[in-house]
Amino acid sequence: MKPHWLIMLSLTLMLAMACSKDEEATEEGSNTSEPAAPPTENTEPTTPSEPENTETNSEPSNASTNATSFPIPNPDANLPAGKQRDWSYGTGQPADLDRAYIGQPASVITNAFGMPNSFTNVNGLIVWNYDQMKISWQGTNYNKARVILAPDPQVSARVRTVTVDPSSAVLGGVSGGLDAPPPAP
């Protein structure tokens, strides 16, 4: 077995080599087009800060902070794949929202859109409501869909139809009523 001091010396040397490579990478990064890696520890002096008198100090502070700014994440990144997609509706194409899922088991819908925001039972049919959708129908954008499921003994339920919630027309986007023609290009 190696003596304790030899193990400690080896670990210290490995740590020193790793730290020197971080410093080299930071210095080399400033000469290239790639951004330098941020320091891994606080390099600011550790002096106690004095409280600012906000009543008499009208100039902005130039003091640096340790706060790291992070990019704002894409809000759609956490949505299921079906909610991230831009859907068309009622154009007769097989990839339209009203045609793509007809006859599919309910599990296919939950895999694509996640769990419904709400659901109801109407005359033996199950209606699932989804929001945060991106649906274009007749020149207007909508953000809510209803998936109507019929009970099926082989699987719990199958998709009977998918409809757009007409009250979910997106304001500020393309305007127009339900029967309005699409806007001219």
pLDDT digits (tens, 9 = 90+) for 35-83: 445 545 555 555 555 555 544 444 544 544 555 565 655 656 788 999 9
Q: According to the model, what pLDDT value does residue 182 have?
A: 44
Task: State the DSSP H helix or E strand holding residue 65, giving kind and residue range, or none if neither.
Answer: none
- Assess if residue 65 is contained within a domain: no
- Assess if residue 3 is contained within a domain: yes
- Assess if residue 58 is contained within a domain: no
Whether residue 162 is found in the same domain as residue 94? yes
CA 21 – CA 132 distance, rounded (Å): 47
| CATH code: domain of residue 93 | 3.30.160
Work out the pLDDT band at 90, boundaries 50, 70, 90.
very high
- 30: its two tokens: 């400033």
Q: According to the model, what pLDDT value does residue 99 have?
A: 94
Contact 177, 118 (CB under 8 A): no
- Assess if residue 105 is contained within a domain: yes
DSSP code per residue over 98-112: HHHTTT-BHHHHHHH
Q: According to the model, what pLDDT value does residue 124 have?
A: 93
Contact 91, 98 (CB under 8 A): no
Whether residue 25 is found in the same domain as residue 84? no
Whether residue 87 is found in the same domain as residue 12? no
Indicate whether 184 pLDDT > 50: no
Q: Pick the residue with more confidence: 33 or 134?
A: 134
Indicate whether 98 pLDDT > 70: yes
Chain centre to alpha carbon of residue 172: 22
Whether residue 101 is found in the same domain as residue 164? yes
Whether residue 25 is found in the same domain as residue 98? no
Q: According to the model, what pLDDT value does residue 120 have?
A: 95
pLDDT in tens, 100-154: 999 999 999 999 999 999 999 999 999 999 999 999 999 999 999 999 999 999 9
- DSSP-derived secondary structure letter, 138: T
- 151: its two tokens: 């009970």
- Assess if residue 175 is contained within a domain: no
Identify the domain containing residue 12 by its residue range.
1-29
Q: By CB neighbour count within 10 A (0-12 exposed, 13-18 middle, 19+ buried), where does 148 fall? A: middle
Q: Pick the residue with more confidence: 115 or 7?
A: 115
Work out the pLDDT band at 170, boundaries 50, 70, 90.
confident
- Assess if residue 25 is contained within a domain: yes
Q: What's the whole-model pTM score?
A: 0.53
- Nearest Cα to Cα of residue 113 among 146, 90, 73, 89: 146
Indicate whether 177 pLDDT > 60: no
- Assess if residue 52 is contained within a domain: no
Whether residue 86 is found in the same domain as residue 25? no
Indicate whether 94 pLDDT > 50: yes
- Assess if residue 56 is contained within a domain: no
Q: According to the model, what pLDDT value does residue 167 have?
A: 93
Whether residue 155 is found in the same domain as residue 89? yes
Total number of domains constituting the chain = 2
Q: According to the model, what pLDDT value does residue 77 have?
A: 72
